[in-house]
Amino acid sequence: MAALFQLDSPVLHFGPRLPAGVRYSQRKFLLWPALMYRVVAPEVRPRQVNILQKAVLGMCRAGITFPPRIGEKLRIHTDLATLILSELLQRGLIKQDGLPTPAGNEVFEAEALDMRPAVTGHVFQDPWSGDLWPRFVQRLDYAELDRRENGFPDLILGTKGKPRRERAFMCRPLDPSVPPAPDVRQILRATRRHKSALRNSESFESADEDEHLDLDAGPVLERISLVDDSPTPVFLSTFIYLVENEQTGDWHACDPFGLGESPALRRAVERELANFPRLRETVEALVGSSLDAQAEKQRGWIAEVRALATSNLERKLTVNARDLPEFEQLLQLEMAYVDAQLLGDACPEQRLRDLLGAARRVLESSFRSIAARYPPGDVWRHVYFKDKSGKDRPVQDQIYVSSVYEARAAALGFKTPLPAALAGTRPNHLKAACYESGWRLRGAIVAAMMVATDRPDHPLVRAAKRRPELIEDLDQVATMAGDAIHAGDSSLELAAISPVIDSVYRSVAILGGIDVGATQLVGG
């Protein structure tokens, strides 16, 4: 049977670009294979208002337009509520009396995915794993090509007046088999993550920290369908590159759809190196050395960093840190921290973003461990109700939901009011944490609080006595990690991250019952 991907298969060019503020010193173009399906799904477009603007606009729709009252309801400062009202007024989304304009109502309703018009577009599937790229594209942009004598294409880029030819390695799978077609939930997830990436991310892998789409939402799923019974094999133009002035010798991959760096594409390239010798040659030509030699050098570096990180952890958290269930995640965090410190000014910003992600993963691991010892069970039912058909539905009154969380936190002895983002944890986030079907840090924290009020031996009971501000500490880590992932245009510095790392270690020590004494780490 002939291979599915041929030399004359279509090549799509969506303008792969570098993350904001990044310049390349060298790059090599790739034509990466994908299976394209035509589908009908809700339209994907960038968000028109941020979360707080949407919340304030919702208050205005409910007739609550007085800044102090809005601040009280949303648990934000009155000055912030006033500022947001001013922004909405300047954009013509509310009137002088604070009530929404027709445009404001339209924007508010458009933020719900199931309210958006259904359109025909395309999704793209990895031919090896069957996973969908988190992208939904309505318009196809075909690359201009010039074929060599052997039939392989070169990319023609630039402008009509000043075109340039780029040699690209075409990664052509020879296996004619096709993975199963994506189902509606996979398509919905792809459109959801594309919306998140358009909003505020330089990497398509980021799950949205503040919002969660219920993938069992019937009305949305009913509006999604496959148009094509079989996929169209295509190639996506992209490139791998070295960052200018980056002294690590590491290489990166660019998202084919024009949204910055793609760690997932890099992993896919690494996965296929053994199957495509020419692909390996392309990467080695970029980095200027053998990948085997680089790997050996990297292993030596990792061993040294691991030893130093282990010593640091024992100094900061005592030798008892080894007994913590999240010790390996702690070690990975400290290794990333040491690595960033050793690189100094040469540390790539993406590594600093990854460092904050590792900090959040440590806390997620801590709460997974707590949930394993103190299962949350059905505490989610406190913020659900049964409809007329007997089906469990989340309570839509976020004020009531927040009051439930606040009462549990106060009963434990934690400082209240809770941070706005944590108090605004959605009921479905809490339910997901109870069943581990969609793990999120804030949902896990709330689930643990709900359980702890009935368990005197729960770690949060002890933690509240040692540090009533612990929930604020945890929320700050979640916020900074989320901002680092999503806010691709903002800059990061190690000096701003160090207090967050210290806060994670302090929190882990408190939750794990470790008495670190008067160490350099735990001050307050």
What pTM was computed for the model?
0.57
- Show the DSSP H helices in 9-129 as ranges: 51-61, 67-74, 78-90, 102-110
Contact 214, 185 (CB under 8 A): no
DSSP 365: H
Q: What is the DSSP track for 25-40?
A: EEEEEEEEEEEEEEEE
CA distance 211 to 134: 16
d(Cα 257, Cα 418) in Å, to the nearest integer? 39
Nearest alpha-carbon partner for 215 in 432, 381, 440, 45: 432
Number of H helices, E strands in the chain: 18, 11
Distances (CA, A) of 375 to 288, 426, 447, 449: 52, 19, 9, 12
Tens-binned pLDDT, residue by residue, of the chain (524 aa): 357 899 999 999 999 988 877 888 889 999 999 999 999 887 666 667 777 888 899 899 988 999 999 988 887 888 888 888 988 998 899 999 999 999 888 888 766 544 567 788 999 999 998 999 988 888 999 999 999 988 899 999 988 888 999 999 999 988 778 899 988 888 888 887 776 666 544 444 444 333 444 444 444 555 678 788 889 999 999 999 988 877 666 789 999 998 888 888 999 999 998 889 999 889 888 887 555 665 666 666 677 788 888 888 888 888 888 888 888 999 999 988 988 888 777 777 777 888 888 899 999 999 999 999 999 999 999 999 988 888 888 988 888 999 999 999 999 999 999 998 899 898 988 998 888 655 688 999 999 999 999 899 999 999 999 999 999 999 988 888 876 655 444 567 888 888 889 999 999 999 998 876 544 444 44
Give the pLDDT of residue 205: 43
Q: Tokens 């959040």: give the residue.
A: 360
Sign of CA dihedral 252, 253, 259, 263: negative
255-281: string of b/e by CB count within 10 Å (b at 16+)? bbbebbbbebbbebbeebeeebeebbe
> 147 φ, ψ to 5°?
-90, 140
Phi, psi of 164 (to 5 degrees): -135, 150
Q: Residue type at 276?
A: F
According to the model, what pLDDT value does residue 47 have? 63
Res 411: pLDDT: 95
Query: Distance (Å, rounded) from C-alpha 490 to C-alpha 6?
Result: 42
Q: How many CB atoms lie under 10 A from the CB of residue 182?
A: 23
The alpha carbon of 429 is separated from its chain's Cα centroid by a whole number of angstroms, namely 15
